[in-house]
Structure 1
């Protein structure tokens, strides 16, 4: 068996890797704002994932972070002018910049919703029957959707035949990320009754200079979601807290 080149051997690599030789060693590595958020807001707590017979049981605390509602009903947020569904690109630009999210009204037509929903449910059932389903604390995920149906390819490509608002979404993504952005993942997430909430987190890194996003998520809702059935929970405007600190 050929010997491993010295350049790949751990001792050699360690010898050539003092801290001052590391890439990005001058960039701040901070645990903020999450560290301070958790320290100063005891109502935000992590729910340990449940498995097996315990799935679906968790310590719900009335008045806690997870005891919340939609923005229109929330006592703090209801009068803040949060994003509403719209097709106006300038309003969407403003919402995304100010609040960190925007809602594209009728981005997928009724027929497109039904087509995507049918494929998601078929794939979810197939993976359960094949005993390869990924059971998550909140329900079930379908991973690597890109090779599991033409509709998923269309979502990634913002193909108008699959997502009628695709060209508008594409423009917003390009303005936010630059012309050569890439899609790194596409999953279908299914929330089931009794599921455990996902912990508060951020998908983008915590660079103190990140005034422009390095990552943008798109959520293609194929059913109505709200505070009762596992809707996505977010803190409006939190995307800018660190960069403006």
Structure 2
């Protein structure tokens, strides 16, 4: 059963025992790529352009949501056209990611270690154009068998659709997959898909439900667990 961060086990070996995944599915923004701050900056810039405040309540409401969901919320406050705001968000974010997107600490190493053992995929709430730019900036895009964008499924996270689509693309049963997430919405999606979830939350406001937690992808416990996979 997934737990909150204050209830996590001390090591992955203790948490999962002899269980090993058949595949691994990663979130992208804020997990593999240090682009979450760029997404926050994007929201700030667009709110400023629209003349509305990005207050604490709105910030928390928007965490983990795609532009297709954020745009209408901002548009409602601003009295603007949702489609226009969505385009503003994507245009600004694509430029920022192209200029400044970079891998999170430990991302290259853990992707390479896991990719040597099992097939990997990315399941993202980003639009396809943003996901492609982020992955191209990562330097390890060749490690992924599949990438799934929220635009390619019926419902974005917190619905399980992107994770189910990624598992199908890998030919793996959802229950045989481990998913890596940093947000409440993303972890909820992976749990709903029936996957084992490891959370790497970097925002104090986020308390995702997960089966295990680690401070970063540089975790020695995480690397030791992967090294033990047969």
Q: Normalized against structure 1, the TM-score is what? A: 0.31
Q: More helix per residue: 1 or 2?
A: 2
Higher strand residue share: 2
**RCO higher in structure (CA 8 A, sep ≥6):** 2
Which of structures 1 and 2 has the bigger CA Rg?
Answer: 1
The alignment's TM-score, normalised by the length of structure 2, stands at: 0.32
